[in-house]
Amino acid sequence: MVWNLREYGLFKKTEAYQTLKNSNNEATLMAIPLTLAMSVNVLFILAVIFIPNLWTYIEYLFPVAIFVFLSIGVYALKIFTEYFIRLLVKGDFNFISNNSFTQMIVVFAFSTITVGFTAPAAMSHHITTSAIAMFFAILFGTITFLFGALGLLFGFNSILSHSVAKEGSPSLWISIPIITLLTISSIRIYFAISHNFLHIQHPTPIVLFVLLSISISLQLLFGILGYIVMERINYFSEYVDGPKKNPGSFSLICPGVAFFVLGMFFVHYGLVQNGVITKFSLAYFLILIPIVMVQLMTISTLFKLRRKLLSEHENRLEEQAITTEEKTAKEVQITFQEEVISASVMEKDESQIISEELLHAQKEASASEADSYTATLKRSASQERKHIPSLKGVDKLVVLPIKMATFPMRMMVKPITKSIQITKATIEHLEKK
C-alpha cells in the first residue's frame, strides 16, 4: 500500500497523469479510496480473529473506524466531484471509448466505503455510535445506487452502439462485487435497526431470504452474461490462457470471491435460518458445491495471471536491477581508473616540478659551496702563511707527508658538507614556493 501511494505521488508529476485527468480514465483514480477502504475492512477482520479478547474493547474501536472511513469517503468524494464537475462543465465525455463498465469503479469504491460504515452501525450497542455510522452508510449507499444506475445506463448505451471492448470486457462482472457489498450493507442496516432501534433480538429471517435471493439472481445474470460474451470474443483463450497480457485481467478475481461470500450468506442466512435446509446435511453440501467450484476456479485463475503477468515482470525488474548494478560498477571502475590516471599525471607533473626545483637548488648550493670552499682554502692558506712561517724554509719532504695524511679525511668531510648544504638550500627553496 505504501509503495503504491509513493508510486502514485511520482505518477502525478508526469504528463501521463495530466492526460489521464482529462479523459474518461480519470474515473480509475477511484481505485485509490477503493483500495484504502478494502484494506481497512480486511485489517479489522484480521484484528478480531487474531488479537485475543479484542471484542471486549470493540466499542472503543468503532468511533475510530467511523473516523477512518469518513476520511476515506471525503477523499473519494473529492476525486469524484473533480471528475464529474469537469464532465458537466466541459461536456467532453467520450461515449465511444466507454464501451465497457470501467466507469463502475466509482460505484465499487462508494459501495466499499458503505459496507465499512455498516459494521459499527450493526455491531455497536450504543445507539449514538450506531446512528452516526448508519447515517454515513445510507449517505454513501445512496450515492452508490444513484451513480450505479447511471453507470449501467451509459455503459450499456456505449456497448450496444459500439460493441464491448475486448480488454475491458471483464468489467461486465464488476456488478457482482458491488451487489455483494450492497447486500451485506443492507443486512447490517437491517440488524442495526432491529437491535438498536426496535430492540428485536431475532429479526425475521424471511426478509433476508428475499433480499439474498434477489442479489444472487442478479449476480447469476451478470455472471452468465459476462461469461458468454468473454467466451465469444475469445478473452479467456487470449488473455488468461493465451499469449496476450493486460493488467485488467486481474479484475476477474474479485467477482469470483464476491460470489463465494454472498453464496455463504445465502446458504446460512437465507436457507439454514429459514429452515429450508439443515446445516451440514446432504442438501447443504450439494448447494455448496457450485459455490466452492467458483472459488477454486478463481484461485486457479489468480495463479495463472500471477505467473503470466507478475512473475515475468519481477524477472524483468530483477534483470534491469542486475544490469543497472553492472553498469554502475563499470562506471565506478572507469571513474576510478580515470582518477588514478589523473593522479599519476598530477604526480608526474609534481615530480617534474620538484626535480627541476631540486636541480636548481643543487646548482645554487654547488655554486655557494664552491665559493665557500674557495674562500676557506684562501683563509687556510693565509693562516698557514701567517702562523707557520717556518715552513718556508723547511724542506718539501716534511710538508707533503702531512698533506697526504690528511687527504682521506678531507675527502670524507667534503661530500657530507656538500649534502648538508644542498638539503638546507632545497628546504629553503621549497618554503619560499
Residue of higher predicted confidence among 98 and 211: 211
pLDDT of res. 92: 85
- Reported as a single tens digit per residue, the pLDDT across 290-335 is 999 999 999 999 999 999 888 755 555 555 655 555 565 556 566 6
Q: State which amino acid sits at residue 286.
A: L
d(C-alpha 306, C-alpha 249), whole Å: 10
What confidence category does residue 190 fall into, taking pLDDT thresholds of 50, 70 and 90? very high
Q: Is the pLDDT of residue 157 over 60?
A: yes
177 vs 292: CA distance, rounded Å: 17
Domain layout of the chain by residue ranges? 1-163, 349-432
Does the structure show a pLDDT above 90 at 399? no
C-alpha cell at 42: 480486511
Residue-wise pLDDT for 340-387, tens only, equals 555 555 555 555 555 555 556 555 555 555 555 455 545 654 554 444
pLDDT at 2: 86
Task: Give residue 49's pLDDT.
Answer: 87
Structure confidence at residue 3 as a pLDDT band (50, 70, 90): confident
What is the C-alpha separation between 170 and 229, in angstroms, rounded?
10
Answering whether pTM is above 0.85, one says: no
Given a cut of 70, whether residue 151 has pLDDT beyond it is yes
Distance of alpha carbon 246 from alpha carbon 244, whole angstroms: 7
CA distance 103 to 357: 83
At residue 150, the pLDDT reads 93
HEC assignment per residue over 167-235: CCHHHHHCHHHHHHHHHHHHHHHHHHHHHHHCCCCCCCHHHHHHHHHHHHHHHHHHHHHHHHHHHHCCH
pLDDT more than 90, % of the chain: 59
Q: What is the predicted pLDDT for the residue at 164?
A: 93
User: Taking 70 as the threshold, does the pLDDT of residue 395 lie above it?
Assistant: no
User: What's the pLDDT band for 401 if we cut at 50, 70, 90?
Assistant: very low
Dist CA 143 CA 109 (whole Å): 11
48 pLDDT higher than 80: yes
- Residue 379's pLDDT is 60
pLDDT digits (tens, 9 = 90+) for 217-268: 999 999 999 999 999 999 999 999 999 999 889 999 999 999 999 999 999 9
- The DSSP H or E segment spanning 61 is helix 58-90
How many whole angstroms separate alpha carbon 313 and alpha carbon 318? 9
Instruction: State the pLDDT confidence band at 115, using cuts at 50, 70 and 90.
Output: very high
C-alpha cell at 157: 448505451
- Averaged confidence pLDDT in the chain: 82
Amino acid occupying residue 215: S
Instruction: Kindly state the helix (H) or strand (E) to which residue 31 belongs, with its residue range.
Output: helix 31-50
| 347 or 168: which leads in pLDDT | 168
Calpha distance 257→173 (Å, rounded): 12
Of the candidates 255, 22, 258, 30, which has an alpha carbon nearest to the alpha carbon of residue 140?
Answer: 30
Grid coordinates given for 33: 479510496
Torsion over CA of 328, 332, 337 and 339, rounded to 10 degrees? 140
